[in-house]
Amino acid sequence: VLSGCGVYDGTEIHEASAVLVHLSRGGAEVHMYAPDVPQMHVIDHSKGQPAEAESRNVLVESARIARGKIASLAKLTTADHDAVIFPGGFGAAKNLSTFAVDGKDCKVNKEVERVLKDFHKAGKPIGLCCISPVLAAKVLSGAEVTVGHEEEEGGKWPYAGTAGAIKELGGKHCVKEAVFSLTPFYEAHVDAKNKVVTTPAFMCETELHNIFDGIGAMVKNVLKLTGK
Name, in order, each residue with C-beta under 8 angstroms of 224's C-beta and a sequence gap of 6 or more.
Answer: none
Per the annotation, the verdict on 130 as an active-site residue is yes
Burial of 113 (0-12, 13-18, 19+ CB in 10 A): middle
- How far apart (Å, rounded) are the C-alpha atoms in residues 164 and 40? 24
CA 130 to chain centre: 6
What would you measure as the largest C-alpha separation in the chain, in angstroms? 49
Cα distance between residue 170 and residue 150, in whole Å: 16
Q: What angle do CA 151, 153, 154 make, to 5 degrees?
A: 135
SS3 letters across 24-57: HHCCCCCCEEECCCECCCCEECCCCEECCCCCCE
The DSSP element (H or E) to which 144 belongs, if any, is strand 144-145
Radius of gyration of the chain (CA): 16
Which position among 5, 106, 129, 130 bears the catalytic label?
A: 130
CA–CA distance, 103 with 163 (Å, rounded to integer): 11
Catalytic residues: 130
